[in-house]
Amino acid sequence: MPSPESATHQPPATENAGRLGLHDARWTRLVLGLLRWMPMWLATALTYPVTLVIYVLAVPQREALRQNLSVLVPGGAGSSCMAGYRVLLNFALTYLDRLWHLHFHKEVEWDIDGKATFDELRAYPGGALVFTVHSGNYDIGASLFASKFGRVIHTVRMPEMTAGLQKLREKELREQEKKEPFLRIHYNTPGSHLGMELIRLINAGEVVCVQGDRVMGDVAPTHETIDGICYEIPRGPLVLAEVTGAPCYPVFLKRLGRLRYGIEIGDPFHPGGSRPKSAQLAPKWVAVMHGFLRRHWDQWFVFEPLVTKVSA
């Protein structure tokens, strides 16, 4: 069966991939060096013009953003340059928050919307699936969610686009694992058979978090239409839910301000106890995801065309 992964399935990272491009690890190291002496207010202020330059130069990403937003945002406002810039700016600001938190130990404030459902999931005696999307701040969100959750949560990631960036990111995240005993990070690499391991974990009563909004490479996609919009989503997480019969909880992250985030936890779109087909689960998941993205389109950090308008 297809790998029940979170979002992407990219080719193995190579040393020269993205050389001097957006995925070069040297950019992160440069920013880290600047943040060591630069006050937070100045770093935040400089993010605005720097993001504008990146938005102008990163043509493929800019056009993908405009294509997605032109479909997703009502009233035609999504096709404007300002809409795409707004998404990239929010992405840059979450990136700064990530570096401040992971490398400079700045505290992050969290608000939980759906506390009753959060407590229900925390007390659930069996395995469960958490579905989320590329919004807010997944890296620091996972560790903070795990600390508040009080039970082990397994998150799934794909390797970064370059070997240098992968080495840097994995080092950061392994340090987070050491600090947060309830967090487990799994990389979906070729030949890892991660799908079988995730099934085993869920059947053993563990909670697994997957990202169900992004398709790249040779991931098996599925398509679902709602409100005249066709989403292309990964089939793997839905197959994982089908095979295990685990309850599926939607959890979304959103940035509320500098080093301040919100967690939205909704009622399960599948309560568990049965094993519906992935094709039956897809419209339920997309309906929940669509509702969040319509409200927070400026925090959907995907840079590939994933939605299309369906003619009436």
How does pLDDT run across 117-148, given as a tens digit for each residue?
Answer: 999 999 999 999 999 999 988 877 888 888 88
Q: Which two tokens stand for residue 82?
A: 């300002």
Q: Which two tokens stand for residue 79?
A: 């096709």
User: Which pLDDT score is estimated for 66?
Assistant: 93
pLDDT band at 307 (very low <50, low <70, confident <90, very high): very high
> 186-242, pLDDT tens digit by residue?
887 777 788 899 999 999 999 999 989 988 656 688 999 999 999 999 998 999 999
Residue 13 pLDDT > 80, yes or no? no
- Which one-letter amino acid corresponds to residue 114? G
Residue 7 pLDDT > 50, yes or no? no
User: Which pLDDT score is estimated for 218?
Assistant: 62
Q: How far is the C-alpha of 293 from the C-alpha of 52, rounded, in Å?
A: 23
User: How many angstroms from the chain centroid is the CA of residue 94?
Assistant: 12
Residue 15 pLDDT > 80, yes or no? no
Residue 12 pLDDT > 70, yes or no? no
> 176-188, pLDDT tens digit by residue?
888 888 999 988 7
Q: How far is the C-alpha of 222 from the C-alpha of 81, rounded, in Å?
A: 29
pLDDT band at 3 (very low <50, low <70, confident <90, very high): very low
State the average pLDDT over residues 283-292. Answer: 97
Residues 6+ away with beta carbon under 8 Å from 186? 154, 155, 156, 157, 194, 197, 198
User: Which pLDDT score is estimated for 217?
Assistant: 57
Neighbour order of strands in the sheet with 128-132: 109-113, 260-265, 248-257, 128-132, 207-211, 153-157, 183-187
> 156-176, pLDDT tens digit by residue?
887 777 788 888 888 888 888
Of the candidates 155, 118, 122, the one whose C-alpha atom is nearest the C-alpha of residue 140 is 155
Residue 271 pLDDT > 60, yes or no? yes
Averaged pLDDT of the chain: 87
Within the chain, residue ranges assigned H as helices are: 25-35, 40-57, 59-72, 81-104, 115-123, 138-149, 163-179, 194-203, 236-244, 278-295
